[in-house]
């Protein structure tokens, strides 16, 4: 069984005999264009894609591409490759950024025996390099990773943002149509019309939603089935407690369904035909199984880097409401395809570009596109992202909350829930509903890493919130009342639902089951749970 590889180096995958999911047929399709741009969220494999392309141009197919599709389908000559990772260039200082950029080009020129005169601005540095290429009559490949790093760092600083924007715009303007560039590949998180990729650098094709390369980054179900079959067999054998050689195709497909719910659902296809799984999440999921010998669907994508830096900056000056993302959202297709600036980008478009939403419909030429949360991991991650913003100053410790909810009596639980609701900004949640209350409590419990489920189905209904501990199951049935006069009737309704539908009467059986009917009084003079009752089924 091959090791699972993570990282940005294609050669490491091959030299260390790790699993490499062969994307070279799509890479060949991509390279039919001379200048391309692809946007993907963080931890999706953008850097590995560029490194694979760079390795191909630098070395040809020997010795690294044996066994891949492109081995018998590549006839290109070799080229020097200029690799520019903007993550490694200064973002805090424009002057330092210019120095870092110039240093990178000077080093490349020196290694490749080119005459180069250092310059003060990126566009001038690139002009100097391109002039040398023309003199020597050679061509190169340029690969730019995370082109938008310096822009996202200044989403709340319009002056610095504009300074970097103009410099990057001029840089692409210099490269436009230059014969010395055999291939130009650019990746980043955001798609910004005003940076010049889609204006001054208009010969750069935006391939972000091109169907023929829609699965070039990310795993398809077929690829997981083919490349990770040994890990699928191991996972099923652990889950079903059977030898690996007894694992059936049906059992593997059943596990793939579960993996799909957790990590699949991203669409980068203009026709909404193809979907991909998060590579980071899938590989870490299988790696954990091999190391720990148990199956657990962790939130690898979020837990690895926490809140993306672009969203962290955005949240310093903006509010994201959980209610706004519980259902699919329709966005004007022009706002989606041609955002002009990070400073004015529509919030759902930013959420899509950072990976918290994805396309849930084809990308139309006009009208609107539907966006939605791709999978369960992202749903939990979005909830974690927002929970600490919704409940400022609240204790999110996993251990202390587990100790509390697994042992506390009903009156203390209600008091804690009211404390939670009291920390919520009235300005951000002026209107409440049963759905809003459920979402807010769920957000806190997810943020505190508690074993929570919502809309838990039983034979005769669905309970609102269920917490599962080793010895105790806690069931919340929530109701919303407009004022105090409505509370009693709503409480009776909640109690009746628990009794008649036997909420909490589930397997596996628990030593203790606490079933709470709770009524939230939405009157502006109350805004708390003013009625509750413990129910015995």
Cβ atoms within 10 Å of 157's Cβ, excluding its own: 13
DSSP notation for 225-240: HHHSHHHHHHHHHHHH
Give tens-digit pLDDT for 443-464: 999 999 999 987 766 656 677 8
> Which CATH number applies to 391-535: 3.30.1360, 1.10.10, 3.40.1350, 1.10.3470?
3.40.1350
Task: Tell me the three state secondary structure of residue 335.
Answer: helix
pLDDT, residue 458, reads 60
| Cα dihedral 207, 212, 216, 219 sign | positive
Domain with CATH 3.40.1350 in the chain: 391-535
Give tens-digit pLDDT for 489-512: 999 999 999 888 888 777 788 889
Q: Helices H, strands E: what count in the chain?
A: 20, 13
The dihedral region occupied by 504, where left means phi > 0, alpha psi between -120 and 50, and beta the remainder, is left
| Residue range 10-208, CATH number | 3.40.50
Compute CA 413 distance to the chain's CA centroid, rounded to the nearest angstrom: 34
pLDDT, residue 457, reads 61
| Claim: this prediction has a pTM higher than 0.85 | yes
Can you tell me the distance from the alpha carbon of 385 to that of 409, in angstroms, rounded to the nearest whole number?
29
Q: Within the chain, which residues score under 70 in pLDDT?
A: 5-7, 193-201, 305-308, 456-461, 537
End-to-end Cα separation, the chain, in angstroms: 51
The DSSP bridge partners found for residue 409 are: none
HSE-up of residue 455 (Cα within 13 Å, Cβ side): 3
Which DSSP category does 8 fall into?
A: S
Query: Could you give the dihedral angle defined by the CA atoms of residues 66, 72, 73 and 78, in that order, rounded to the nearest 10 degrees?
Result: 60
HSE-up of residue 31 (Cα within 13 Å, Cβ side): 24
Structure tokens belonging to residue 520: 């939230």
Can you tell me the distance from the alpha carbon of 75 to that of 71, in angstroms, rounded to the nearest whole number?
9
HSE-up of residue 56 (Cα within 13 Å, Cβ side): 26
pLDDT, residue 113, reads 95
pLDDT, residue 511, reads 87
Domain with CATH 3.40.50 in the chain: 10-208
pLDDT, residue 155, reads 86
């Amino acid at each position: 069984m091959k090791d699972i590889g993570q990282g940005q180096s294609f050669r490491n995958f091959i030299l260390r005999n790790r699993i490499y999911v062969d994307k070279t047929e799509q890479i060949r399709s991509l390279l039919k264009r001379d200048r391309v741009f692809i946007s993907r969220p963080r931890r999706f494999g953008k850097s590995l894609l560029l490194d694979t392309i760079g390795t191909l141009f630098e070395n040809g197919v020997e010795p690294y591409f044996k066994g891949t599709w492109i081995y018998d389908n590549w006839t290109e000559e070799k080229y020097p490759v200029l690799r520019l990772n903007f993550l490694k260039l200064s973002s805090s200082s424009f002057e330092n950024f210019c120095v870092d950029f110039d240093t990178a080009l000077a080093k490349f020129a020196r290694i490749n025996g080119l005459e180069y005169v250092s310059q003060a601005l990126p566009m001038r540095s690139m002009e100097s390099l391109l002039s040398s290429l023309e003199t020597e009559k050679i061509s190169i490949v340029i690969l730019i990773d995370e082109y938008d790093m310096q822009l996202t760092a200044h989403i709340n600083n319009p002056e610095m943002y504009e300074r970097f924007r103009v410099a990057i715009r001029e840089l692409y303007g210099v490269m436009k149509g230059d014969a010395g560039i055999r291939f130009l590949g650019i990746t980043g998180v955001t798609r910004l019309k005003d940076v010049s990729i889609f204006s001054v650098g208009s010969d750069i094709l935006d391939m972000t939603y091109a169907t023929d390369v829609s699965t070039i980054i990310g795993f398809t179900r077929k690829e997981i089935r083919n490349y990770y079959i040994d890990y699928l067999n191991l996972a099923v054998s652990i889950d079903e407690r059977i030898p690996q050689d007894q694992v059936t195709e049906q059992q593997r497909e059943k596990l793939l369904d579960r993996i799909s719910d957790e990590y699949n659902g991203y669409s980068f296809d203009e026709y909404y035909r193809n979907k991909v799984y998060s590579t980071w999440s899938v590989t870490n999921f299988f790696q954990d199984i091999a190391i720990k010998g148990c199956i657990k669907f962790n939130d690898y994508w979020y837990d690895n880097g926490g809140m993306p830096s672009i969203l962290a900056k955005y949240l310093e000056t903006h509010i994201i409401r959980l209610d706004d993302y519980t259902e699919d959202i329709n966005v004007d297709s022009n706002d989606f395809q041609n955002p002009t600036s990070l400073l004015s980008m529509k919030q759902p478009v930013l959420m899509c570009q950072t990976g918290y939403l994805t396309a849930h419909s084809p990308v139309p030429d006009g009208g609107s596109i539907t966006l939605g949360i791709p999978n369960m991991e992202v749903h939990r991650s979005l909830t974690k992202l927002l929970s600490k913003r919704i409940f400022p100053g609240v204790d999110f410790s996993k251990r202390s909350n587990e100790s509390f909810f697994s042992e506390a009596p009903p009156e203390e639980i209600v008091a804690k829930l009211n404390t939670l609701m009291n920390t919520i900004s009235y300005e951000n949640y002026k209107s409440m509903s049963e759905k809003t209350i459920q979402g807010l409590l769920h957000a806190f419990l997810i943020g505190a890493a508690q074993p929570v489920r919502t809309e838990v189905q039983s034979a005769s209904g669905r309970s609102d919130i269920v917490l599962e501990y080793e010895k105790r199951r806690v069931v919340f049935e929530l109701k919303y009342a407009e004022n105090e006069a409505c509370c009693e009737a709503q409480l009776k309704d909640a109690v009746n639902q628990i009794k008649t539908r036997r909420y909490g009467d589930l397997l596996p059986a628990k030593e203790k089951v606490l079933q709470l009917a709770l009524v939230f009084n939405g009157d502006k003079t109350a805004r708390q749970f003013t009625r509750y009752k413990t129910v015995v089924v």
